[in-house]
Amino acid sequence: MNKEYKKYIQSALSRRKENKRVVHRLKKMKPALLNKLINNMHAEAFEIIDCLECANCCSSISPAVTDNDISKISKHLRKKPNKVVQEYMLLDNDKDYVMNRTPCPFLMLDNCCSIYDSRPLACKGYPHTDHNKMHQILQLTLRNTEVCPAVCYIFERLNSIK
Ligand code: SF4
Ligand code: SF4
């Protein structure tokens, strides 16, 4: 991850209390307005943040991988689903499949994903700030300030609105 993006994460970590207060405030907003506010900031964030300069999600956390994802990956790799599971997955405490290591086994040195067109749905959606049910994922979004500089940017913007 480039230095500038690391600073976003460090700054969000130092503002944990303020960010918790922001979440508390956002919970009181009407769902449609909340979606619009955060979805617009998401678009703004990704105008200045380039995932290929970052890859911190792929390097440090794993997506949940569904059976449907496994089937797509197995076609992409031309390997049987059980081989894909054996080679790349493990079951977490919630009994969901996740990648068996971080950085993700499909992350390449240039920060591209080697199975990009067949990547899990959770990867496609991350960091979920263009979601249309933001009310339901506010706590998750707050936790994502520890991983994603774009989410940190969004929280900086939210903090500036009083
Ligand atoms: S599958 Fe691709 S997009 Fe998903 S975590 Fe791995 S490298 Fe990243
Ligand atoms: S989604 Fe966030 S953490 Fe993942 S690569 Fe893009 S900016 Fe980085």
| E strand or H helix that includes residue 31 | helix 31-48
Within this chain, do residues 153 and 103 fall inside the same structural domain, yes or no? no
pLDDT of residue 139: 96
Q: 38-94: per-residue pLDDT in tens?
A: 999 999 999 999 999 999 999 999 999 999 999 999 999 999 999 999 999 999 998
Q: How far is the CA of 109 from the centre of ligand 1 (A)?
A: 12
pLDDT for residue 161: 82
Task: Say whether both 85 and 52 belong to one domain.
Answer: no
Tell me which residue range forms the domain holding 32.
Answer: 3-57+127-160
User: 105 CB contacts (<8 Å, ≥6 apart)?
Assistant: 87, 88, 99
pLDDT at site 135? 95
Q: State the distance from the centre of ligand 2 to the C-alpha of 150, rounded, in angstroms.
A: 7
Alpha carbon nearest to ligand 2 atom 6, residue: 51
Q: What's the pLDDT at 118?
A: 97
pTM (predicted TM-score)? 0.93
pLDDT-based confidence at 111, cuts 50/70/90? very high
